[in-house]
A and B are shown apart, each in its own frame.
Chain A
Amino acid sequence: MGFGPLHRHDRDAAALVLTRADAPARAVAPLRRRGVELALLAIAVLLSVYGYCDVGLARNGTVPPGAAGYGAGLGALALLAHCAVRLRAPHADPLLLPIGVLLNGLGLVLIYRLDLETPHDLAAPTQLVWSTVGVTLFTVIVLLLRDHRVLQRYAYVCVVAALALLLLPILFPAVNGARIWIRIAGFSIQPGEFAKVLLAVFFAAYLAANRNALAYTGRHLWRLRRIQLPTGRAFGPVLAIWLLSVGVLVLERDLGTSLLFFGLFVVLLYVATGRTGWIAVGLLLAAVGAVAVGWLEPHVHGRVQDWLHPFASIQAGRGPNQIAQSLFAFAAGGVLGTGLGLGHAILIGFATKSDFILATAGEELGLAGLSAIFLLYGLLVDRGYRAALALRDPFGRLLAVGLASILALQVFVIAGGVTGLIPLTGMAMPFLAQGGSSVVTNWAIVALLIRLSDSARSQYGGEAVPS
């Protein structure tokens, strides 16, 4: 992958990369930090086991019988992943894997804790199985994918697969008003989750290949030099993605996923082309789409109304709705929280373990615990961006930005939804929420970030000397 003729913007960018590259080349290269990763993993596992024991102690006064097995299982998974990283990605960022393990472990604790309220409907064992599948997939990706640039060749395979996965649930009956699940052999699978990663790969590859064409053609708007409208030809794919997003929304009634796809594409388009015009176009299209759908689709319209007036159902005498119950749960947590096992987030009723899992965290761990969780996600995204900044190839950079943005957007959309910041859209809190497809997908994202960060951090110490 060569750089095109240097544009003003890119000249700055290249200069930045060079200056940055000088400093870490000396300091970071010899350090692999695998020992740090192992120590952090031990802490992550211990924290999770502590949380598990805390739930039991708070509820029954005894350590739950499965504590040792749970700790051993999580520890074994962490160790498996760590060995794969040590073997095939020795230069990888040491924070990525421990954060994934900690969030996944905490999610299992929260789901186990909510299972105590619904003894007839246990979700933690299934979630543990899916976590195992996720870590296994992580291991497989780290072991088999030796160079992320290989993925570039499969860009169009990825997009076809992604579209197929997105369209698959239309053949299955709707669940809770959304056609996003398929049921196979008793397991619910949400194919849209996997599609996220595939689309990120495709977007990164497409934009890496076409970014110059997108960046340097187009018309100026009202003679303003900074705002440059893209040409119709370049505009085509964007429109296609926008239509895809709206299509997903209308056919599957899944506002969250369509928001995520569109946001992901706008971010990558901006990073690839550096054109603020894309952001303007993106926001305009998103606004038009959101307003239109908000008015036309009763399902979505209701969500907007619930967001604007969370207590309307109380005033109407119908009792608190999910949003109100979620707000009550967060408020009940206060600064320090009620303590694990002692909150009443189960009052939310439907989707307490999945979309609303954060309410349990907020109530039982308080603002302190909730902020810590947000910062963990922030750190994960930050590490993705660091890999993007350090990488040299545009595909790798865009892929790292895309994967990190998926996490960031997803956390924002669902966390903002359950805390009343934005209208609620059904989406899984990465790693925390009940949902097998989501956990597996998130482990795939972390695996790719490990691979990308390994490439980024090893290039200065290895043969790929910056030119």
Chain B
Amino acid sequence: MTRHIRHSAYFCVMLLLALLANAARIQLLDAGSYNDNHANRRSQIARYHQPRGDIVVGGSPVTGSRDSGEQLRYERTYTDGPLYAPVTGFASQVYGTTLLEHVKDGVLSGTDPALKPFPVMNNLTGARSRGGDVVTTLDAAAQRAAYEGLDGRKGAVAAIEPATGRVLALVSSPSYDPGALSGNAAATARSWARLNADPDKPMLNRAVRQTYPPGSTFKVVTAAAALDAGVVTDLDAPTDSPDPYPLPGTRTTLMNEGEGCGDAPLREAFEWSCNTVFAKLGVDVGVRRMAATARAFGFNDTRQRIPFAVAPSTFDTSMDRAQLALSSIGQYNTRATPLQMAMVAAAVANHGQVRSPYLVERTTTNEGATVATAGSRPARAAMRPETAERMKELMEDVVTEGTGTNAAIPGAIVGGKTGTAQHGLGNAGVPYAWFVSWAQNEDERQPKVAVAVVVEDGSARRGDITGGGVAAPIARSVMEAVLNSKD
């Protein structure tokens, strides 16, 4: 009997070993896949167990966290939701994250390994760092000026610092309160449904995710290309361009809004936005060089991040000459985000150099220690420095005596370009009003701000939709805000 007692004891030992081995399998070998299973709520609970880090504008946070007392404990709050929504995005317990909340989620939620002072130790204990902060480059006053300037009309504003590429303002209108999507209550689902059904698309970030035909503001690019290519050497020499201009290879002719564009020199043509002159200049420059210049300004860049993705602005690279003529005045397939057009103005203001725009100055730990800084971005030449100086001259003239006088600021040098972009089937849509500009204090050496404004439906009366009338005043108030800020 003893032998068989021993046998059954060995059997029990086998059962014990099986249990231990299986426990090791679940808790060691396969633990990762179980922990990562999307149906495992633990990562969600841990994620919302601590307050989320903040997004900081001008030294003060524009976000916060609310203790809901539920299983998913902390919900995101926004001090000024609609104002900063195109920058922050939302951080929802149900619908995920977008924009900065998405791109910088690791820092904000505390999972970024860089937040840990002793990574190995923390990995062993599995402790999660407290959420770090994301310090933005935004200028609070400029942001507010842009938001209030648009005043709920459909449109967008992007402003950047030409010398660095820091994004100073990024506004999309109409906007929404991302705080309404934070929680997981029934009201959140209703907000989500309502925002998605809204025909005005308040969750669309028009400043970086929507492209518009840039219209006449694109003439900055065309003029720069013409000057760089040597097609125009004297700003005041006649350009040998007919008015109206027959589109090459077609029977269609291109008209101007105003008079006196025939053979107009570049300075006048730019000042009064002559379509005929720039269409011909574009054709004279040729599609290859036009496309190269546009690309140097940032068009056709599918990989731009600020750090969230920016919709690529487009300039067609294979066209016939009639299409090139239209493209050169910012129509046909030419499309640009407001941020791209701000980059165009910034390139002129920064000696022809384009600095990649960026929105995050640095990320810090919860205690404020720097985790990562933006660092200096590489510059890319969009035009020769001499060309940039002449383009500044042209743009200044637009503000001092041309179509952009609404943007003039006393005590400051301002350069700009208006635009009125046709769109829709047979150009039947209400035209978009554009204004791109830069501004510089008279006592300073270089421009402090470049801005692009687009207003989709500035007025019910079609005649009033001009960049100068609707968009320029918004650009002016944004530029004033930046020029008046202390640093």
Q: Is the CB of B8 within 8 A of A374?
A: no
Q: Is B120 an interface residue (CB 8 A)?
A: no
Stretch with Cβ within 8 A of B (4 or more), from A71-79, A221-229, A267-275, A449-457: A267-275
Contact, CB under 8 Å: A334 / B27? yes
Chain A interface bracket (under 10, 10 to 19, 20 to 34, 35 or more): 35 or more
Q: Are B2 and A389 in contact (CB under 8 A)?
A: yes
Q: Are A378 and B16 in contact (CB under 8 A)?
A: yes
Task: Choose the segment among B35-43, B234-242, B467-475 that binds chain A (4+ C-beta atoms closer than 8 Å).
Answer: B35-43
**B445 near A: Cβ within 8 Å?**
no
- Tell me which of B8, B18, B22, B23 contacts A270 (CB under 8 A): B8
CA distance A324 to B41 in the complex (A): 11
- Do residues B16 and A331 form an inter-chain contact, with CB atoms below 8 A? no
Q: How far is the CB of A408 from chain B (nearest CB, A)?
A: 4
> How far does the alpha carbon of A77 sit from the alpha carbon of B119 in the complex, in Å?
46
Chain B residues within 8 Å of A366, by CB: 27
B-contacting residues, A222-281, CB 8 Å:
267, 270-272, 274
Q: How does the 8 Å CB contact mask read for A320-339 relative to B, with 1 for contact and 0 for none?
A: 10001001101111111010
Residue from A347, A385, A411 within 8 A of B5 (CB atoms): A385
Q: Tell me which of A17, A311, A420 contacts B26 (CB under 8 A).
A: A420
Chain B residues with Cβ below 8 Å from A394 are 1
Chain B, residue nearest A331 (CB): B34
- Contact yes or no, B23 A371, CB < 8 A: yes
In A144-196, the 8 Å CB interface with B consists of none
Q: Is A88 an interface residue (CB 8 A)?
A: no
Q: Is A12 located at the chain interface by the 8 A CB criterion?
A: yes
Q: Is the CB–CB distance between B35 and A416 below 8 Å? A: no
- Contact between B1 and A272 (Cβ–Cβ < 8 Å)? yes
List residues of chain B with CB within 8 A of the CB of A16. 2-3
Which residues of A383-403 have CB atoms within 8 Å of chain B's CB atoms?
385, 388-389, 394, 397, 401
- Chain B residues numbered 88-136 whose CB sits less than 8 Å from any CB in chain A: 124-126
Other-chain residue from B4, B15, B27 in contact with A330 (beta carbon distance below 8 A) = B27
| Secondary structure type dominating chain B contacts | helix
Chain A proximity mask over B290-324: 1 for CB below 8 Å, otherwise 0: 00000000000000000000000000000000000
Q: What residues of chain A lie closer than 8 Å to B126, measured between beta carbons?
A: 334, 338
The answer to whether B194 has its CB under 8 Å from any CB of chain A is: no
Shortest B184–chain A CB gap in Å is 15
Give A388 to B12 CA distance when docked, in angstroms. 14
B305–chain A nearest beta-carbon distance, Å: 34
**Chain A, 428-461, CB within 8 A of any chain B CB:** none
- Contacting residues, chain B, for A338 (C-beta < 8 A): 126
The residue from B1, B19, B30, B40 contacting A374, defined by CB atoms under 8 A apart: B19
**Taking each of B5, B13, B32, B37, which has the highest tally of chain A beta carbons within 10 Å of its own beta carbon?**
B5
Q: For this complex, into which size category does the number of interface residues on chain B fall?
A: 35 or more
| Cα(A408)–Cα(B8), bound, Å | 11
Chain B residues with CB under 8 A of A404: 12
Q: Is the CB of A415 within 8 A of B1?
A: no
A331 touches B27 (CB 8 A): yes
A225 to chain B: closest CB distance in Å? 17
Total A-B contacts with CB atoms under 8 angstroms apart: 144
**Contact in complex: A389, B5 (CB < 8 Å):** yes
Chain B residues within an 8 Å CB radius of A336: 124-125
Asked if residues A314 and B3 are in contact (CB atoms below 8 Å), the reply is: no
| Known A274-B4, A332-B42; contact A412-B15, beta-carbon cutoff 8 A | yes
B369 within 8 A of A: no
CB of A362 within 8 Å of the partner chain: yes
A419 within 8 A of B: yes
Whether B27 contacts A367 by the Cβ 8 Å rule is: yes
Please tell me if the beta carbons of B5 and A401 are within 8 angstroms of each other in the complex.
yes
Interface residue from A272, A328, A367, A378 paired with B34 (Cβ < 8 Å): A328
> Is A416 within 8 A of B22, CB to CB?
yes
Are B22 and A334 within 8 A (Cβ)? no
A83 to B27, CA, bound (A): 41
Q: Does B6 contact A (CB under 8 A)?
A: yes
Contact with A along B37-72 (1 / 0, CB 8 A): 111111001000000000000000000000000000
| A111 contacts chain B at the CB level, 8 A cutoff | no
**Which residues of A have CB within 8 Å of B124?**
336
A198 at the interface (CB under 8 A from B): no
Choose among A320, A324, A371, A421 the residue with the greatest number of B CB atoms under 10 Å from its CB. Answer: A421
Least distance between B404 CB and chain A CB atoms (Å): 57
- What is the interface of chain A mostly: helix, strand, loop, or mixed? helix
Q: Among the listed A10, A267, A412, which residue makes an inter-chain contact with B19, where contact means beta carbons less than 8 Å apart?
A: A412
B185 within 8 A of A: no
Instruction: Give the distance in Å from the alpha carbon of A13 to the alpha carbon of B2 in the complex.
Output: 5
Shortest distance between the CB of B447 and any CB in chain A (Å):
55
Contact between B40 and A328, CB atoms less than 8 A apart: yes
**Contact between A344 and B42 (Cβ–Cβ < 8 Å)?**
yes
B7 sits at the interface (CB 8 A): yes
Give the docked Cα–Cα distance between A267 and B11 (Å). 10
Closest to B29 in A: A331
Cβ contact within 8 Å between A335 and B39: no
The residue in chain A whose Cβ has the minimal distance to the Cβ of B35 is A331
Say yes or no: A270-B4 contact (C-beta < 8 A), given A335-B27, A378-B16.
yes
- B residues near A334, Cβ cutoff 8 Å: 27-28, 31, 126
Known: A334-B31, A404-B12. A416 touches B23 (CB 8 A): no
A134 to chain B, nearest CB (A): 23
B4 and A331 contact, CB distance less than 8 A: no
| Chain A, residue nearest B18 (CB) | A421
- A271 partner residues in chain B, CB cutoff 8 A: 1, 4-5, 7-8
Is A99's beta carbon under 8 Å from chain B?
A: no
A139 at the interface (CB under 8 A from B): no
**In the complex, chain B residues whose CB is within 8 Å of the CB of A344:** 41-42, 45
Closest to A10 in B: B1
Output the least CB separation between A4 and chain B (Å): 11
Which listed residue, A9, A333, A408, A416, touches B27 by the CB 8 Å rule?
A333
Interface residue? A381 (CB, 8 A): yes
B8/A332 in contact, CB under 8 A: no
Taking a contact as CB atoms under 8 Å apart, the answer to whether B15 and A408 are in contact is yes
B20 located at the interface, meaning its Cβ lies under 8 Å from any Cβ of chain A in the complex: yes
Q: How far is the CA of A10 from the CA of B22 in the complex (A)?
A: 37
Tell me if B24 counts as interface (CB < 8 A to partner A): yes
A389: B residues at CB distance < 8 A: 2, 5-6
Q: Which of A332, A335, A338, A378 has the most CB of B within 10 A?
A: A332
Residue in B23, B30, B37 with the greatest tally of chain A CB atoms within 10 Å: B23
Report the minimum CB–CB distance from A203 to chain B (whole Å): 13
Q: Which residue of chain B has its CB nearest to the CB of A310?
A: B34
Q: Is B9's CB within 8 Å of the partner chain A?
A: yes
Question: Is A286 positioned at the interface, with any CB of B under 8 Å from its CB?
Answer: no
* A311 and B37 within 8 A (CB): yes
Partner of A331, one of B3, B9, B26: B26
Give bound CA distance, A397 to B5, whole Å.
9
Interface string of A405-432 (1 = CB under 8 A from B): 1001101100110011100000000000
User: Given the interface contacts A331-B26, A367-B24, does A267 sit within 8 Å of B3 by beta carbon?
Assistant: no
Nearest CB of chain A from residue B172's CB, rounded to whole Å:
35
| Residues in chain A near residue B6, CB distance under 8 A | 389
Query: Which residues of the other chain, A, contact B41 by a CB distance below 8 angstroms?
Result: 344, 347
List chain A residues, Cβ under 8 A from B31: 330-332, 334
17 A-B Cβ contacts within 8 A? A17-B2, A267-B11, A271-B5, A311-B37, A331-B30, A334-B31, A362-B23, A371-B20, A374-B23, A381-B16, A385-B5, A389-B2, A389-B6, A409-B15, A412-B15, A412-B19, A415-B19
Query: Which residue numbers of B lie inside 8 Å of A, CB to CB?
Result: 1-9, 11-13, 15-16, 18-20, 22-24, 26-28, 30-32, 34-35, 37-42, 45, 124-126
List 7 tightest A-B contacts by C-beta distance, closest first.
A331-B34, A331-B31, A13-B2, A367-B27, A412-B15, A408-B12, A314-B39
| Other A-B pairs, 18, CB within 8 Å; known A334-B28, A401-B5, A401-B8 | A13-B3, A16-B3, A271-B7, A320-B37, A324-B37, A330-B23, A334-B126, A344-B41, A367-B24, A367-B27, A371-B20, A382-B9, A397-B1, A411-B15, A419-B23, A420-B22, A420-B26, A421-B19
